[in-house]
Amino acid sequence: MNSRSLAAVCLVLAVLLLFPAFCYVRGQAPVNRYQVRVEADGSAEWIITQVTAISGTVDSWEGFQQKSLSLVGLAANQTGREMAVDVGTFEMTTTNYQDSQSKETVFSFTWDNCSILQQGNRVVFGDVFAVAGFFDHLYGEGSLQITFAASLSVQSVSPSPNSRDDPAHSMDWLGTQFFASSNPSLTFIEGQGSPFTSSTPIPSAAESVWLYALAGVFVSAAVAVSVLWFLVVRRRKRSNALDEKASPIESPLIESEEQKIVKLLQSSGGTAYQSSITDQTRFSKAKASQLLSELERKGVVTRYKKGRDKIVTLAERGKSER
């Protein structure tokens, strides 16, 4: 692979790898954030925030209602518990942000009987996620935040949240795929204080766009550098292999053309006609003359004319050549 081909490959890889990050920055790829507020009566308020490009399409009012009603119906069948959506709570708003060329659409509704009410004032939330591909029935993967009423306290949580905010009574998971694939269960008790003692704030949905973009840029850059390094190393190995293959093997058994003439003179007693040298070495007249001229210049042989030919004689230096 030549340097131009290598550069072209690296450029294509960089574009392919950085394109997802670019889309996040431009808001082309939707970024979803799910927020669920668990109430003491077993209901839950669902808020879905979706960030897209300002020119992108968003779900219609009818599409949003259909998705919500269908999912609640599936969860009711899965759990065997009566559930419903308060149709009067459906809301949908869209806000455009010209500075970032993105827009934020917020969908919300109230899901009745979303949690299990147990004796001892316990509220257990999580069995609705047993619906296969739960979040795909809404708007796909995203981050998840679960908050709970001030009258509730947390008894147990599975899986553990990535962060929490004590004053806001909230817990956050960076990815819904991890939450929905682990049989989640959150148990709350009414009338006791929260056991949490520290807080870690979570970025908003709009801020998450830049976090996804930053992570994408770092990952893409690391992969691009790794691929580039691999291609450069492989190219060097191939180049070295070709050089070794093309290089002549030096051996004392291989004589140079000048050495061949010197040995011929040595075997002839130190003197020979130039025409005889030409015949025995099978050099052309011009090449033999050129080689003898070079040897004469180096002081290895001497020549003098005799008729139409020349007599070549080894000098003292030529006699000692091996």
Q: pLDDT tens digit string along 188-203?
A: 998 765 454 333 444 4
Q: DSSP readout, 148-164?
A: E-TTEEEEEEESPPSEE
Torsional sign, CA 260, 261, 263, 264? positive
User: So what's the pLDDT on residue 253?
Assistant: 41
The CATH number of 257-319 is which of 3.30.540.10, 1.10.1740.10, 1.10.10.10, 3.30.565.10? 1.10.10.10
Q: Hey, CA dihedral for 156, 157, 161, 166, is it positive or negative?
A: negative
**Contact predicate 274/307, CB 8 Å:** no
Paired tokens of 159: 């899986």
Alpha-carbon gap, residue 318 to 235, rounded angstroms: 47
What is the C-alpha separation between 298 and 300, in angstroms, rounded? 6
pTM: 0.55
pLDDT, tens only, 78-110 = 999 999 998 899 999 999 988 878 899 999 999
CA–CA separation, 225 and 247 (whole Å): 33
* CATH classification code of 3-215: 2.60.40
> Domain extents for the chain?
3-215, 257-319
Return the pLDDT at 213: 56
